[in-house]
Each structure stands twice: as structure tokens, then as C-alpha cells.
Structure 1
Amino acid sequence: MKLKAHRVNILNIKYLNIKEMDSITYELLKSEASKERREKASGYVHIEDAYRCICAELLLRVCYEEFTREGLVPKILYERYGKPYLENTDCFHFNISHSGEWVVIAYGDKKVGIDVEKVSDEMEEIAPVFLTKEEFKKIENLETVRKSALLTKLWTLKESYVKYRGTGLYTAMKAFGVMDDLEQSQKPGVVFHTEKLPGNYYLSVCSEDERIDMQEVRLKDLTGSILQKRGA
């Protein structure tokens, strides 16, 4: 996996699929993670949560090293409402999301928010919690499959926006809309972008950059890099 030159005014997105994770791969990846991350992963009941926990840190390391050309990732700190950032670093902004088989990170020189979710019929149950009245009216008569997909897409768009702002769920998502050309007039200066990932997932990102570069990182990229460093 070749590193790219440091670029500004472009939002970078890396996405990693963990579906093919096995115990040998996991143990190798975990051995490369920080002590804090290993301890956090060990506390999960479901092994898939541990996979995502470890992979999120290692994928962030890839993003940081590529963008800054520095090998040591600063300590992760958290803002008032839980948004992560790196200590003593103002030129590298990032945001992480994971769901099911995907771990995704958006990063660049400006603040950003990202979310990934698998399309689910359960979104219809919580729709009144995150849709405006106008949005709800527009989708209530759609057939189930289309409605589930659109609701999931809208959820990821709204999540990406509140994560961009750094307010998380402290911002009522039904208080703002993202339909009708994403209602940019209500959110000046930000750009939304949505992609469909394999496995019926939606990825949405909110940033200040119009240009986006997406790159898939594979498990074998991570393990290969580790083994290369160790001279194996």
C-alpha cells in the first residue's frame, strides 16, 4: 500500500472491511495496538466489537502517517461532547465510524464528521426521533425497501453533520433537515457526500472540502505492513 503525498483541500476517506477477520489475523493486529486499546478490546463481550476497536486505531495510524509523514500518532483526547482529536495537533482532523463489517475514517486539514450504517428496517421505528415533520411526510408512503434505504441514508447524513460539529447526540437531529439538496442554506460552508458500500451499507461524510478521495484498506495491507516492519 503506497503512501500518498500530503494534500490539503481534499477530504480523505479510508474504509476497511473486517468480514474476513480470523483469530490469527486479529492477534497479530492486536499485538501492534496500544496498551490502552488492547485493554479496551478485551472488555468487549462480542468479538466483533473487539475487531472494530483494534482496527479503528490501526487504520487511524495509517491515515495519520500518510497525511503527516510522522510515525508516532499523538494521544487521542476528547472534546466536551466526545469528539476525538489528537493532542497538540491542529493540522490533522479526523473522525471515525464503524458498523457491522466496516470501519471508516475521514481525515484532512479541516474538521469532519463521518458515519456508516447498514440498511435496516429498524430505522422506521426511530424515524420520528430524527426526521423533521417535512421529511417524515415525504417518506411515509414509500414502500418498505426504499424507505429503509432512504431512512438509513438520512440517518448517516445527520450523524455526519452532528459529528462534524462535535455535538453528537446533544444536537436534536429532528431539528434540522438534510433533504431538498441537503438544505445547504441552513448549514453554510459544509459539503455532504454519500457512498454505498458493499453489504448494503451507507457511508456519509460532512466536511468543508468538495473534493474527496476514497481508498479501501484491506486486512492484508495492515498485516503486511506489520510483518514488514518486523522483518518477517
Structure 2
Amino acid sequence: MLMISIIDMDKRAFHDHAHKILRECLRRKGIEYGENTPVVKGKLGKPYLSEHPNIHYNLSHAEGIAACMVSDCECGIDCENVRDFRPNVMKRAFSEKEREMVESAPESERNLLFFRLWTLKEAYVKALGIGISYPMDTAEFSFEGENIITHIKDCRFRQHILKDGRYVVSICEIENTAT
């Protein structure tokens, strides 16, 4: 289950709003979620509902957008508002092929392309529960039309480009939890 909310609110309120979305997603699965819901963390710090270990969730928020993913398998979600990207991040987190793809794109498309790639990488490492300590340049993506191309096995990736390219939301679900 996926919920995305494009919102205009104070930066500090995005976190609370993301948890409201999570509450709504879990309610639709018959699970009540609130301040007293027992949440435990996995060995790498990813949170789980202790009473519902087969329900997986992930949250993301950025300026103007919040998103939540609830799934029966490990999942990760990342959302970003498209803005000028920082080339140093690209040098550190993108493969040579990805850097060439962004640099060779028309200038008007570079920011969106950067954030399409970045959110896929973030969704993947969040699904793994590793975070950005993962060598992100090894998770490589490209596109054939609307299709996401990657060497990563046992994962399903989806991406939503919203509001005429102002926002990008990427999702990763791990099909084989023995990763």
C-alpha cells in the first residue's frame, strides 16, 4: 500500500504528517498505530511493529511531500522535491555510467534525472535497512522509456514523477527476504 501527500506546511511538521499517513495505511490493514504501539529496531536500526513482524513499512518526507509504503515484504521508499542537485553527491554516490547519463542529458532534464536515480538508490538501501553507509555507487540504475533497468536481483522498483516533474517518489520491495 502506498500513500503520497503533497503538502504545504512547516518543515518541522513533515515528520508528524508522515506518521499520520502511516497510521492511515496501517488502519486499512486492521492495525492500530499510535504513540504507544510497540516498535522495535532490527540489527541495523530499521523499525518494525513488534506485534506484526510480517508487516513492513517505510516513510519518507521532503519539502512539500510525504510518502509511506506498507508491504508484506521488506520495502523502502524515498521522495524528493526536484531542485538543483549537488555534483559532489553525484561523484560520491553514482556509478560512472550514471554520472555520464546525467551529464549528457539536456540541462533542462538533469535535476529530474539526478533525483530519479537518487531516490531509487535511497529506496533500495532503506529496503535493505542499511542506510547510506551502503556503497551507493554499486546500486546502478538506468531507464528504457518508463522501465527501470538495474542489475539488482530479487527487488521490484517503481517510480512516480508528480506535479510535472516537481517531485519524485521511488519504491523498492525485496521479493526474497533472504538478502
TM-score under structure 2 length normalisation: 0.84
Give, in whole Å, the separation in 1 of the partners of 2:39 and 2:162. Answer: 27
Out of 20, 45, 55, the position equivalent to 1:82 is 45
The DSSP-based 3-state class of the residue aligned with 1:113 is: strand
Is 1:16 the counterpart of 2:41 in the alignment? Answer: no
Q: Of 163, 167, 172, which aligns to 1:201?
A: 167
The amino acid that maps onto 1:71 is E
More strand by share: 2
AA at the equivalent of 2:161 = K
**What CA deviation, in whole Å up to 9, does each residue of 1:127-162 have, x standing for no partner?**
111110122123322232211110010000010010
Q: Deviations over 1:190-212 (max 9, x none)?
A: 11100012270100000147xxx
- Relative distance call for 1:148 and 1:110 in structure 2 (3 A) is same
Q: In structure 2, what is the Cα distance between the partners aligned to 1:77 and 1:56?
A: 18
Q: Is the 8 A contact 2:58 2:68 kept in 1?
A: yes
* Per-residue deviation, residues 101-123 of structure 1 (Å, max 9, x unmatched): 11100112111000001112124
Report if aligned partners of 1:118, 1:202 keep a CA contact under 8 Å in 2. yes
Percent identity of paired positions between Structure 1 and Structure 2: 25
Q: Which has the larger radius of gyration?
A: 1
List gaps (5 residues or longer) in structure 1. Answer: 1-11, 22-46, 210-232
What's the C-alpha RMSD, in Å, of the aligned pairs? 2.0
Whichever residue aligns with residue 31 of structure 2, its letter is E
Question: As a proportion of its length, which structure holds more helix?
Answer: 1
- 2:14 match: 52
Question: Alignment partner of 2:57: what SS?
Answer: strand
- Distance in 2 between the 1:208 and 1:133 partners? 25
Deviation at 1:182, TM superposition (A): 4.3
Note closer, same or farther for the CA distance 1:99–1:113 as it changes in structure 2 (3 Å cut): same
Secondary structure (helix, strand or coil) at the match of 1:77 reads strand
Q: Match of 1:70?
A: 31
Counterpart residue number, 2:74: 111
Deviation at 1:59, TM superposition (A): 1.5
Alignment: residue pair count: 169
